[in-house]
Amino acid sequence: MVDNVDYEIFSLPIKKVRIVSKERFDEKSILLWIMSKVIKVQCTKCWGYNTKRIGKWYNEHIVNHMFLSNYLTIKLKLHKRKFLCKDCKKWDNVFVEWFSFIEKNHSYTKTYAQYILREREYSSLSELARKFQVSETLVYKVINDQSLEKLANDKIEYMKSQDELYLWIDEVSFSWHDMICTITDVKQRKVLWVLPTRRKKDLIEWLEKLDEETLQKIKGIATDMHASYKDTIQSHIAKKLWTTVPEIWAKAVADHFHLIQMLTKRIYEIYRMSKRMIKAWHYSDDIQDLCDQEIVNSQKYRTDKLKWTKEYVWVYDSYKPITLWFFISKRYVNLLTMKQESHTEKQTDRLWQIFTEFDPCGYLKEVWVGKELLLKWIKEKSIEYIDQLIESFKTSSHYLLEATWKTFEKRREEIQNFFDLWITNAFTEWKNTKAKLFKRMAYWYYKKENYMKRLLLCL
């Protein structure tokens, strides 16, 4: 006796199919005999219902359906009837009926594919084959049957179902300089698509697939400090909706992570430049005498002062100042990248010694003060600190700081939008890290299409 509960357990539509019987197929699987309840069957060519059954026999077909556990699988034995379409009779269109839960010419159901695709995120092909006790060929066939067009349609349908979309575009390396781009919805934490290259042409082709209603749902666009993707999306939306760029509602955002990253990069560059100039004795001849003296005598601490610096006053008598050669050989740049509130007393003493003795032009102090202003802006959510940072960098004569304040001034509106939308690239960077992990797990991908499928299915 087959109960209605069996249809729910085995994920079968009770209105369309009938379970005839259940039997043991082998030690690892159970076989269900399935017949269709549908009387009117659509033609597979003209999709009409003017069809007639031929004969009373059935075509038997066994497919994989689902897993009850790692040691027990469910197989379906389908009884398919033959039909003849009266409208297509002159072409002798005899066809076998099909079931909605099985794709055409597949030896597995959609439920079976969901099991494998769900575990694909954490396992390789060989591990999936061992776990589900099937061949690697079948696992590869299930994954390979998922075409990019089908995945694209699923992603577009998802976008249509959302009320608002906040896009973030970032790049991931496929091989050397060959890059792919991931498009994510950072609010809903969903990967929307993967572009095969970072060219604008591929982004425009993806945008062409979206209708006007979906484009109107895009409320925020965020990328890194390169504005090419943002400009491409905004110009496409304005062109498609017959508006101008200032009138569209898709705001551009520059999050604080990229701003901090930019200033941290400037700190490293200026620090390395300062060390090279000190090693080359660019500032004064006294540095050459001091370095030679420290190398010969191997002095750990330094007692004299350089002529071109301000006199250094110890903040704490228990901490002796560092030597010039010790500063050059060690990476004291970590003191510049740390937050001021995280410094210990000794680290504060070391930091101010660097500013007074090893930074004669004041470039390190300028970029460090700018970093602290940026952190205050993030903490207090006030754009005034960004204006102070721009004004302080404008008075600097260093070319790197000059390029930095120009970038901040150009992106000021995008920085202000960050507080309105409050979207960051944390989710996108997390997915990019997983994308790199998938590439290492597979020991490289030779076909980019297979890599894109893996990302769309597993991210």
Q: In what order do the strands lie in the sheet with 165-175?
A: 190-195, 178-185, 165-175, 218-222, 251-253
**Residues 46 and 65 grouped into a single domain:** yes
Helices (H), 93-135: 110-119, 125-132
Q: 175 and 245: one domain?
A: yes
Same domain, yes or no: 433 and 385: no
Domain closes at, from 54, 87, 110:
110
Q: Which helix (H) or strand (E) holds 190?
A: strand 190-195
**Shared domain check, 440 and 368:** no
* Inter-residue contact 148 to 159 (CB < 8 Å): no
Average pLDDT, the chain: 78
- 294 in the same domain as 383: yes
CA distance 296 to 279: 16
Residue 72 makes CB contacts below 8 A (sequence gap 6+) with 28, 29, 30
Q: Where residue 166 sits, what CATH number does that domain have? A: 3.30.420
In sequence order, what are the residues at sequence separation of 6 or more whose Cβ sits closer than 8 angstroms to the Cβ of residue 89? none
What number is the average pLDDT over the span 131-145?
Answer: 80
Q: How many domains does the chain have?
A: 3
Q: What is the pLDDT of residue 435?
A: 86
Same domain? For 24 and 103 the reply is yes
On whether both 242 and 162 belong to a single domain, the answer is: yes
Contact 179, 142 (CB under 8 A): no
Residue 312: DSSP 8-state:
P
Do 241 and 261 lie in one domain? The reply is no
Query: Cβ distance 184 to 167 under 8 Å?
Result: yes
Q: Is the dihedral of CA 415, 417, 418, 420 positive or negative?
A: positive
Identify whether 160 is part of a domain. Answer: yes
Share of the chain above pLDDT 70, in %: 85
- Say yes or no: 280 and 352 in one domain: yes
Contacts 24+ apart (CB under 8 A), 376-381: 377/256, 378/256, 381/419
The reported pLDDT for the residue numbered 305 is 40
Q: Indicate whether 415 belongs to any domain.
A: no
Q: Are residues 438 and 394 in the same domain?
A: no
Residue 121 domain-assigned (yes or no):
no
23: pLDDT strictly greater than 60: yes
Question: Which helix (H) or strand (E) covers residue 169, if one does?
Answer: strand 165-175
Name the 3-class secondary structure at 83: strand
* Calpha distance 366→360 (Å, rounded): 12
Does any domain span residue 141?
Answer: no
Q: Which domain holds residue 445?
A: 148-254+423-458
In a domain, 178, yes or no: yes
The pLDDT tens digits for 67-126 are 776 667 888 888 888 888 877 765 567 778 878 788 777 888 888 888 888 777 777 778
Query: For residues 138 and 106, is the Cβ–Cβ distance under 8 A?
Result: no
- Choice among 42-51, 75-84, 187-196, 212-221 with the minimum mean pLDDT: 42-51
- What confidence tens digit (pLDDT) does each residue in 275-309 have? 777 766 666 554 545 444 444 443 433 344 444 44
- In angstroms and rounded to an integer, the radius of gyration of the C-alpha atoms of the chain is 33
The pLDDT of residue 283 is: 60
Assess if residue 417 is contained within a domain. no
Give residue 144's pLDDT.
80
| pTM of the full structure | 0.70
Q: Is the dihedral of CA 199, 201, 206, 207 positive or negative?
A: positive
Same domain, 381 and 454: no
The whole-number pLDDT of residue 302 equals 39
Query: Among 64, 148, 140, which residue's Cα sits nearest to residue 106?
Result: 64
128 within some domain:
no
Q: Quick one: 74 and 98 in the same domain?
A: yes
